[in-house]
Structure 1
Amino acid sequence: MTDALVAEWIKIRTTATTLYCLGVALASVVLSTLLTFGMVSSYDGRDAAGRATFTGTPMEEVTMLVAHLCLGVLGVLAISSEYTSGMIRTSFIAMPSRRVVFLAKSTIVACVVFVAAQAVIFGTFFLSRLVVGDRAIPDYRTGVDDRAATLFAMGLTAVVVALVGLGLAAIFRSAVAAIAGIALLVYVFPIAAGNIPEPLGPKIDALSMRSLALQIGGDVPDAVLSPAAALAVLAAYVVVAIGIATYLIGRRDA
């Protein structure tokens, strides 16, 4: 297993697409900072009454969506590029246990994405709060101690999206199909759930990535799921995607 981990680490850090995906994810921190300046400018241009009713979306929730896409694509390309180039056959020849190779790849992808996602989410949080300063903008007065669990969970959901992308790419052997699956999970699913009438709509939406992160952090009043249950659902996404992919990789030709 150690040899497989080392090999997968070398692959992922020497692949150009990894740098591109990580670069775009980290660039989202810069973008969110610019958006925060725009929000602050709008706040400062209002009178006292306007400021009293002013609201702003926490920028870490914006960058979370960008991170989901960029890091999810990283997970997809971690294996789809090997199928495209034929490198996957070389990997399986060098390491005959295909399932060990795939699980090693999953572990490395998870570790890389975890570090990148936490850097993006926490970086956005601190920079946006620095720009807002002492302005009384709702959702920007919460300290990191009160928000840490949610921020951590937001980064964790990016890991789940990346692993689901990796699993889908291994199952379908298609980057397009896997990326489409990620888009459905991250963007289409919560929008569709939001258009379903109560009481079913909120219960379905509670299973979306954003809602799971907020429920894990305890940021949702009258949450559908407890933090532990939300974490279990998050883990179930990974178990299903990686479990099916691992089974199929061990049974079919490369």
Structure 2
Amino acid sequence: MRNSLAAEWLKIRSVRSTYWILAVVIGSVLLGACLAWLGARGWDELSPDRRTRFQAPAMEQAILPLAQLCVAVLGVLAITSEYTTGTITSSLTVRPQRMRLAAAKIVVVGSVALVAGLVFLFGTFGAARWIVGDRPLSPGYTTSVSEEIPMLLVTGLVMTATALIGLGFGVMLRSAAGAISAVVTLLLFLPMVSRFVPQPWDVRLSSVMLPNLAEHITHGSWAAATALVLYVAGALGGAAILLKRRDIA
């Protein structure tokens, strides 16, 4: 297993797209800092009456869809690049135990996504809070730092899960375009569609959409936690079944 982990770590480091994706994730911290600076500057120029109506979302949450999509694409390309180049055949020739290869790839992709996600979340959070200072910008900057840490940690776990879901889609579809389209549907299209479902199903469906799970899990929702586990289990379980049963070519 140690050799498998080393091999997967070497693979993910040798793909140029990995560095571009991580650069976008880390660059999102600078984007969040710039937006926080614009928000603070705009707040300073407002009258006291207009300041009470000023809305400023937390930057790490406002930019989260971009970062979440990036780690999902990271998971997709971690496997579809091997199908595209044909190196998946060599990988399975050297390590014919397909589940061991899959487990090693899950560990490596999950670890990279977790670290990247936490750097993005805590970096953006810290930069935005430092720029905003003691300005009471509502609703994103009126809570204490200690209150936000659980949300940041849970969001990091959800980002890791998103990367693993992307990896699962990549194995099942063996196509970067198809897997990324599936991820975009899960992250962007379905949450948008759920808003147009008649009440009360709009709220119920929205609460189990992948982008909304972190907030509900942080507030103690077992349904949201179960939904996250089912998302990951469904993607990786389907990938494991197909990886074992079908030919690679």
Please indicate the TM-score interval, normalised by the length of the shorter structure: over 0.9
1:31 corresponds in structure 2 to: 31
Equivalence map 1:135-146=2 (5 Å): 135-138=135-138, 139-146=140-147
What are the superposed Cα offsets for residues 96-121 of structure 1, whole Å, 9 maximum, x if unpaired? Answer: 01121112101110011001001101
Equivalent residue of 1:198, what SS? coil
Aligned-pair identity (%): 36
- Deviation at residue 249 of structure 1 after TM alignment: 0.5
Map of 2:237 onto structure 1? 243
Cα deviation 1:45-95 (Å, max 9, x = unaligned): 110000111111111112311111111111000000000000000000000
Corresponding residue of 2:53: 53
- After TM superposition, the structure 1 = structure 2 runs for residues 19-98 of structure 1, keeping only pairs within 5 Å, are 19-98=19-98
Shift of 1:164: 0.9
Q: Give how far 1:141 is off.
A: 2.2
> What residue is the counterpart of 2:186 in the other structure?
185
Query: What is the match of residue 131 of structure 2?
Result: 131
Secondary structure, counterpart of 2:208 in structure 1 = coil
For 2:177 and 2:202, the matched residues in 1 are separated by 29
Does the 8 A contact of 2:208 with 2:223 survive in 1? no
Supply the distance in 1 between the matched residues of 2:87 and 2:99 (Cα, whole angstroms). 16
1:11-51 per-position Cα deviation (integer Å, ceiling 9, x unaligned):
11222111111111110110111111111121111100001
Superposition misfits of 4+ residues, deviation over 2 angstroms = 226-229
> Bigger CA drift: 82-91 or 55-64?
55-64
What does residue 100 of structure 1 align with? 100
User: Which residue in 2 is equivalent to 1:221?
Assistant: none
Kindly indicate whether the alpha-carbon contact (under 8 Å) linking 1:64 and 1:155 is maintained by their aligned counterparts in 2: no
Distance 2:74 2:17 in 1: 7
Q: How many residues in Structure 1 have an aligned counterpart in Structure 2?
A: 247
SS in 1 for 2:56: coil
CA RMSD of aligned residues (A): 1.1
Do the aligned partners of 1:73 and 1:165 also contact (CA within 8 Å) in 2?
Answer: yes
Equivalent position amino acid for 1:107 in 2: V
Q: AA paired with 1:136? A: P
Gaps in structure 1 of 5+ consecutive residues: 219-225
Describe the SS at the equivalent of 1:196. Answer: coil
Q: Which residue is 1:165 aligned to? A: 166
Counterpart for residue 203 of structure 1: 204
Check the 8 A contact 1:102/1:246 in 2, yes or no: yes
Q: Partner letter of residue 203 of structure 1?
A: R
Distance between the aligned counterparts of 2:221 and 2:204, measured in 1?
Answer: 15
Q: Choose the corresponding residue for 1:232, options 204, 226, 231.
A: 226
TM-score (normalised: structure 1): 0.94
